[in-house]
Chain A
Amino acid sequence: MTHRYIPNTDADIRRMLEAIGVGSIDDLFAPVPAALRLDGDVAIPPAMSEPDLLRHLEALARRNADASTWSMFLGGGVYRHFAPSFIDQLLLRSEFYTAYTPYQPEISQGTLQAIFEFQTLVCQLLGTDIANASMYDGSTAATEAALLATRMTRRDRIVIARTVHPHYRQVLATYAANLGLEVVEIGYGPDGTVDMGMLDASLAGAAAVVFQYPNYFGAIEDPRPIAAAARAAGALGVAVVTEPVSLGLLAAPGSLGVDVVAAEMQGMGLPASYGGPHCGVIGAAEKCLRQMPGRLVGAARDAEGRDGFVLTLATREQHIRREKATSNICTNSGLMALAAGMFMAAYGREGLPALARLNFDKAHYALRAIMKEASGAGVRAGFGGGFFNEFVIRGLDNAARVRDRLLEERLVAGIPLGVDYPELQDALLLCVTELNEAGEIDRLASALGAAASRP
């Protein structure tokens, strides 16, 4: 058998065996004890041709709710924004996507410069002094940001708002349990934002105060009092940003006194891809540099004095510091960071605020339309405060059932909050972006009105 991914022919193999001085391939596997060698074939299906494979996967793809034939009003940490067509075509350039990690800078300046630009764009967006070259995703970035705070403050208590994404809180809980760290959750007030009274009561001995901006309910936390309270207690303020496009309209957390910002950059045009690969990143104040996890790209000069870039400050990382490293991370999200950087550069200074404004307007239009159609049936705006492109509606008899009913009309009407917030069985979290047309929004509103009125 030959395979199109494996060039050696039988003749090639014979020549090579002769050069090695063995009689057969089996001889090369002699160091594997016979008892441990597999008898026969691995139990997987036989090989598929390329056309068959495409047909097979196309059929599987058709069984899913794709964004082009379904009306999606889903956020919850993953946001559908328009990525200019040129981005994906550039990502398919071999030199970008089939390149290795840039450990040999002489032949990796493309990747290194693109990541240096990404780091810069992230600093500008988040309002921080420094930013790393990416983490796996927002949830692990948020967790690592909290761990960074424990190292810097030498405390082991993490205070986190319940209005941070449920998955992110669960990931932090998993890591904390293994490291013997204490995690304290702070509830929210009637406006859906952090209960400052509860926060103040929990601050003693805290390493970090972690909150989300905008939060999971779409509400806009005010980072300033939270950061100030953290600082007064000797803790680090950690803002989590799951919808980076919101920072086209909202002030950067770093500029509001927040020490560390953990962000998910998927909203910068990265495919939803059923949850990954996405792109986490950590931005922070200069004082956090030595404790920053993940790779860092820095400017450098070569032997001829020419400018370029290198991976730097590697002594923080696992391959040198091993068990004393700032993180165990090795592979991160390089290609996704490149893509997010392209998106930020394309929209730029004027475009990102314009994109954000369009999201804001559409989401507010949606809430008004829904209120018009459904307030008669008892539906109300969830928390009443300001929001960006995500908001909560409440007053549904059974939000999960309403959402399921609307699936029959190829409408995905958000997330029933009751799954993660048992006290909110009557609530749906809805997201509207620039890709939802007014007609589609009207359809959502009347469908919700009808569903809410039904027993």
Chain B
Amino acid sequence: MYPEHYRYTNDHEWVSVAEGQGRVGVTDYAQKQLGDIVYLELPEVGRTVKQGEVIGTIESVKAVSEIFAPVSGQVLEVNTALAERPEGVNHDPHGSWMVIVKLSDPAEADRLLTASQYGELAK
């Protein structure tokens, strides 16, 4: 259910780390809770973010959720194509990355929840 090689936060973000970069998205649990996603507010490229900081919002018709940075670093890329078609988050939450962060502290990701730990949380 939850990809093994991702890491997860208590706020239902996932991060997939490769070569010092982290791809960030939200989990299946999050998209189910929110319902049909209608809008994504994503950070500016180049912005420095700290772990736990609010970097954007994700909106459905009846709810808003903040997106918290799972890791610290610099925003390299933002998925503007996904922002144009936010329903992609509902269809494929674990395949829809929102932000790519250049990690300032790779060890941070290791301290996040594993897939099985998050699976317990999201029951």
**What residues make up the interface of A, taking CB atoms closer than 8 Å to B?**
290, 314-315, 320-321, 324
A276–B60 alpha-carbon span in the complex (Å): 36
How close is B65's CB to chain A, nearest CB, in angstroms? 10
Contacts of A315 in B (CB 8 A): 39, 59-64
| Contact flags B34-70 to A (C-beta < 8 A → 1, else 0) | 0000010100000000000000000111111000000
How close is B35's CB to chain A, nearest CB, in angstroms? 12
- Of the A-B pairs whose beta carbons lie under 8 Å apart in the complex, a sample of 6, sorted by A's number, is A314-B62, A315-B59, A315-B62, A315-B64, A320-B64, A324-B64
9 closest residue pairs by CB, A with B: A315-B59, A315-B64, A321-B64, A320-B64, A320-B63, A320-B62, A314-B62, A314-B61, A315-B63
A324–B61 alpha-carbon span in the complex (Å): 16
Known: A315-B63, A315-B64. 7 other contacts (CB 8 A): A315-B59, A315-B60, A315-B61, A315-B62, A320-B62, A320-B64, A324-B64
**How many CB-defined contacts (below 8 Å) exist between A and B?**
15
Interface range on chain B: under 10, 10 to 19, 20 to 34, or 35 or more? Answer: under 10
A310–B48 alpha-carbon span in the complex (Å): 39
A314–B64 alpha-carbon span in the complex (Å): 10
- The residue of chain B having its C-beta at the shortest distance from the C-beta of A325 within the complex is B64
A321–B39 alpha-carbon span in the complex (Å): 14
A265–B39 alpha-carbon span in the complex (Å): 32
A290–B40 alpha-carbon span in the complex (Å): 11
A321–B65 alpha-carbon span in the complex (Å): 9
Contacts of B41 in A (CB 8 A): 290
| Contact flags B78-120 to A (C-beta < 8 A → 1, else 0) | 0000000000000000000000000000000000000000000
A314–B39 alpha-carbon span in the complex (Å): 12
Contacts of B60 in A (CB 8 A): 315
A320–B59 alpha-carbon span in the complex (Å): 10
How close is B76's CB to chain A, nearest CB, in angstroms? 24
- The residue of chain B having its C-beta at the shortest distance from the C-beta of A312 within the complex is B61
Contacts of B39 in A (CB 8 A): 315
- The residue of chain A having its C-beta at the shortest distance from the C-beta of B60 within the complex is A315
A315–B38 alpha-carbon span in the complex (Å): 10
- The residue of chain A having its C-beta at the shortest distance from the C-beta of B62 within the complex is A320
How close is B47's CB to chain A, nearest CB, in angstroms? 14
How close is A152's CB to chain B, nearest CB, in angstroms? 14
Contacts of A321 in B (CB 8 A): 64
Contacts of A324 in B (CB 8 A): 64
A290–B57 alpha-carbon span in the complex (Å): 12
How close is B1's CB to chain A, nearest CB, in angstroms? 28
- The residue of chain B having its C-beta at the shortest distance from the C-beta of A310 within the complex is B61
Contacts of B62 in A (CB 8 A): 314-315, 320
A191–B83 alpha-carbon span in the complex (Å): 50
